[in-house]
Amino acid sequence: MVVADADFDRIKKKVRQFVVERDWDQFHSPKNLSMALIVEAAEMVEHFQWLTEEQSCNLPPEKLAEVEQELADIQVYLISLAEKLKLDLIAAVEKKLVLNALKYPVDKARGNSKKYNEYD
């Protein structure tokens, strides 16, 4: 995990440098960043709209490249929002996985798409 942490820190620094060089921090309120994040997520979803399940799993290379760009935009805004709110994304994901493991125990959740509060 040390390599992954180092990679994530490197990307966070690059995103921060990009924003600073353009003097965009003045626009990066949590409200604006969260709205930009959802816009990018909607742009990603557009690529899958009206596709069958199989088509969505087998995107042609040019469409896959477009989805990759949208995912990158989402990640950049997510990193910026977490930084603005002084949140540690890695720690947040680790905490959430622990909570989800409690909500979705393997014996009840395996192969089951029900929400945790719908278990018998």
Mean model confidence pLDDT for the chain:
94
With contact defined as beta carbons under 8 Å apart, do 63 and 47 qualify? yes
Q: Total domain count for the chain? A: 1
What one-letter code names the amino acid at 85? L
* DSSP states along 97-115: HHHHHHHS-HHHHTT----
Give the pLDDT of residue 117: 86
Query: pLDDT by residue (tens digit) across 69-89?
Result: 999 999 999 999 999 999 999
Q: At which residue do the structure tokens 């604006």 appear?
A: 32
Residue 1 pLDDT more than 70? no
pTM of the model as a whole: 0.88
Domain that holds residue 71: 2-85
Residue 58 within any structural domain of the chain: yes
**Helices in the chain by DSSP H: which ranges?**
2-21, 30-46, 53-57, 61-84, 89-103, 106-109
Residue 64 within any structural domain of the chain: yes
Average pLDDT over residues 14-28: 97
CATH number of the domain within which 50 lies: 1.10.287.1080
Residue 117 within any structural domain of the chain: no
Residue 100 within any structural domain of the chain: no
Provide the pLDDT confidence category of residue 53 given band limits of 50, 70 and 90. Answer: very high
Sign of the C-alpha dihedral computed for residues 4, 38, 30 and 101 taken in this order = negative
Residue 26 within any structural domain of the chain: yes
Give the pLDDT of residue 120: 74
